[in-house]
Structure 1
Amino acid sequence: MRMLLNIRIPHEPFNSFVRDGTIGELMERILAEMKPEAAYFTSENGTRGAIFIVNLEEPSQIPKFAEPWFLSFNADCEFRVVMVADDLKKAGLEALGAKWK
């Protein structure tokens, strides 16, 4: 299932990793493990943030995607189910509209 993973990263300990020069290696390890379909880095309410599109085959994979952020950065992670346009086409909106008039 395609999921949007929204991450809010507090200043610490991220700043410490930047200062000691290890942030690049740590981020590479996390991203290599995640293999996101898409990755965007942004700000989130005045802190660092990231938005990823990931595929989960089952709910038990949630920790695989969240724990690196929890354990490395004390980050907050939020998962939301998302669709691409082709998924929406398959949703049967016309039939649902007719059923729920």
Structure 2
Amino acid sequence: MNINEFYSRYAAGQRDFRNLNLMAANLRNLNLKGINLSGANLTKANLTRTNLSRANLSGAILIGANLTETNFTQTNLRDANLTDTNLADADLRNAYLSVEVCEKLK
């Protein structure tokens, strides 16, 4: 699925995008509240100022992603790979993080 199809499906109400490949996608400033991106490949994606509150990103690959000012309030980030991500000013209030993820954020 290309990025335009993703946008169209999301706008039409689809919220389940498990295991989707969005490598290097520009998802900046979007409202993706409640989306299911579990297992998705978001390597080097730009998610700056994106609303991912109440989303499911469990097992997602976010290596090198830009997550500056991203809203992760009540988001499931268990087993997500956040290696080399930029989490400057990200909102992680009440986010669900596995111990391994928390260790990487130190």
TM-score by length of 2: 0.23
Which of these two proteins has the greater Rg computed from alpha carbons? 1
TM-score by length of 1: 0.23
User: Normalized per residue, which structure has more helix?
Assistant: 1
User: Normalized per residue, which structure has more strand?
Assistant: 1
Larger RCO (alpha carbons 8 Å, 6+ apart): 1
